[in-house]
A and B are shown apart, each in its own frame.
Chain A
Amino acid sequence: MRDLEKSFGDVHVLRGVNFDVAPGSIFALLGSNGAGKTTLVKILSTLLAHDRGTADVNGFDVASQAGEVRESMSLTGQFAAVDQILTGRENLVLVAKLRHLDNPGAIADSLLERFSLTDAASRAASTYSGGMRRRLDIAMSLISGPPVIFLDETTTGLDPEARLEVWRTIRDLARGGTTVLLTTQYLDEAEQLADRIAILHDGRIFANGTLSELKALLPPARVEYVEKQPSLKEIFLAITGQGRSRDTKETS
C-alpha cells in the first residue's frame, strides 16, 4: 500500500498510508476509535474507492483488478455479517455455493466441525451467542481458503474466552500460510498475535515494526527503581502523543 489517501467530504481520514504485509504473517493495525481502520480495510476489500495512492492485495491492484482481489481475499467485517434467519449450516452452504465450489454441504460440515458449531448447525443464527456468531462469521470467510484474510476488530465485544478462541483460529490460519491483516484497538491483542504491528494515527502510520522494534523506539533513559519493560500501551501512548497530557482517554 503506497501513499493511500481517503477523505469523506472535509474529513481527511487517511493522509498517505504506507505499509507492506509479508505473505503468511499476521499484521496488526492498531488505532483508536475513528482512526480509519475500517476505512482502510474497506478499501483493501474493494468496498470503498480511495482518492489517491495505490494498494495491492495478493499482487492485484484494488482499483483496476477488483475481481482478482475479491478472489484473493476474504473479509470479516467489524460487525458479524451472518444471515440471522438461516441456520449456521445454511449460511456456510450459501457462501460455498456463491464461491461456485463443488460439494458445498461437505465443506459446510467440515467447517462446522472445525469451529465447534456442529451441535448448533441446524439452529437459526439469530439464536447464537456473540461468540458463536463470530465463529460462524469467520468460518464463512474461510470457505475457499483465500490467501489473504482481513479481520476488522474481530474480537470487539467478545467475552474473554471467545476472544482466546478467535486468537487460536487466527494463529492456525497464519500457520497454514494465510496472510492475516487484523485491526484492533486492543493493545494486548496486537502484542499477543502479531508478527508486525503498525500504529495508525492522524491518518498516517506512525510506527511499524515488530514488538521489540517498537519497544526500542521509546527513549531508553529512564531512572526507575524497578526495571520494567514498556508495555505496548506505553509505546502507543508515547508515539501518538496522548501520553503527554494527563487527560488521556482510555480507548473504548
Chain B
Amino acid sequence: MTALVADTRTLTGRSLRHLLRSPDTIVTTAVMPIAFMLLFVYVFGGAITTGTDSYVEYLLSGILLITIASGVSYTAYRLFLDVSGGIFERLRSMPITRASVLWAHVLTSLVSNLVSLAVVMIVAFAMGFRSGADVIAWLAVVGILVLFTVALTWLAVVAGLLAKTQDGAIAFSFPLIFLPFISSAFVPTATMPGPVRWFAENQPVTAIVNTVRGLLAQEPVGGDIWVALAWCAAILAGAVVAAMAAYRRRTG
C-alpha cells in the first residue's frame, strides 16, 4: 500500500511536469467551452427563454461539463503516448505497483481539469455570472464535478489504452462534448419534440447539469442530486471495469 502511494506520487509528479511544460493544453481545453459560452450568451441567448434572470447563470453548469469532456481527452492522448512510446512497457518491466501507472494519469487529469474549470469560471464571472451559494453548496458542486471528471477520465484511460492512433485516442471525447447539447444544458427540455425530449431528460448530463445549476442558484436539488450521483457512480464503475479489461488486453 505504501509502495502504491509512493509510486503513484512519483509518476504523478512526472505527468504534472508534462502538464507544466505544455500549459497550452489547459488553455486549449478552456477555449472551446469559453467560445460556446460567448456564442450562446451573446448571440443565441437573447432568443432563448429559460425562466432565469440571466442566461449565463442558466448555461454555466453545462459549459463546465463540456470543459471536463474536452479536458479528459488529453489524458487519453498522454496515455497513448506512453503506450506507443515504450514508457509503459519500461514501467511494466520494473518492480513497481502496476496500478500506480494509471492512477498517476487519473490524478493529473483531475489537476488539469480543475485548473481549466477555474479558468472558465473566471470568464463566467467576467460575463456577469454571480452566485449566492454558501460554502456547502459550493463544496457539493466541486464534489460532483470532481466525481464526473474522475469517471470520464477512466473512460479516457480505456481510449488511451486501446487506441491505435493519436486521433483515435481523443475521438472518444467528441460524443461526450456533444451530449450536453441534447440535454437541459442550453435550453429547457420542455420545448423539445417527444423522443428527443425523452432522451434529454433521461441521459446523465441533464441530471448533473440541473444539480449543479440548482446548487449555484440556491434552489432545492432534492431528486436530481441522487440521480446525478448515481449516474456518476455508474459511469465510474463501468469505466474502471472497462479500463481493467483494456489493460489486460493491452498487456497480453
Q: Does A216 contact B (CB under 8 A)?
A: no
Report chain B residues within 8 Å CB of A90: 14, 17
Q: With A83-B87, A85-B17 as given contacts, are A46 and B7 in contact (CB-CB < 8 Å)? A: no
Report chain B residues within 8 Å CB of A74: 93-94
Q: Which of B86, B90, B96: most chain A Cβ within 10 A?
A: B90
Report chain B residues within 8 Å CB of A94: 10, 14
Residue pair B90, A140 in contact (C-beta under 8 Å) = yes
Residue pair B86, A95 in contact (C-beta under 8 Å) = no
Instruction: Write the chain A residue with the least CB distance to B92.
Output: A47
Q: With A47-B89, A81-B90 as given contacts, are A100 and B6 in contact (CB-CB < 8 Å)? A: yes
Residue pair B3, A81 in contact (C-beta under 8 Å) = no
Shortest distance between the CB of A89 and any CB in chain B (Å):
12
Q: Mask for A89-109, Cβ within 8 A of B = 1, else 0? A: 010001101111000000000
Shortest distance between the CB of B91 and any CB in chain A (Å):
7
Number of B interface residues, CB 8 Å?
23
Complex alpha-carbon distance, A48 and B93, angstroms? 10
Q: Does B220 contact A (CB under 8 A)?
A: no
Q: Which of A49, A79, A97, A140: most chain B Cβ within 10 A?
A: A97
Instruction: Write the chain B residue with the least CB distance to A104.
Output: B10
Residue pair B89, A83 in contact (C-beta under 8 Å) = no
Residue pair B14, A99 in contact (C-beta under 8 Å) = no
Residue pair A98, B96 in contact (C-beta under 8 Å) = yes
Complex alpha-carbon distance, A95 and B7, angstroms? 10
Report chain A residues within 8 Å CB of B87: 81-83
Q: With A49-B252, A86-B17 as given contacts, are A81 and B94 in contact (CB-CB < 8 Å)? A: no
Residue pair A83, B14 in contact (C-beta under 8 Å) = yes
Instruction: Write the chain B residue with the least CB distance to A96.
Output: B10
**Option from A46, A80, A100 in Cβ contact (under 8 Å) with B3:** A100
Report chain B residues within 8 Å CB of A172: none
Q: Does A145 contact B (CB under 8 A)?
A: no
**Option from B14, B93, B96 in Cβ contact (under 8 Å) with A46:** B93
Shortest distance between the CB of A111 and any CB in chain B (Å):
16
What are 12 A-B pairs at a CB distance below 8 A?
A42-B89, A67-B95, A75-B89, A77-B89, A81-B85, A81-B90, A85-B22, A86-B14, A94-B14, A98-B10, A98-B94, A99-B94
Question: Residues of A at under 8 Å CB distance from B?
Answer: 42, 45-49, 67, 70-71, 73-75, 77, 79-86, 90, 94-95, 97-100, 140
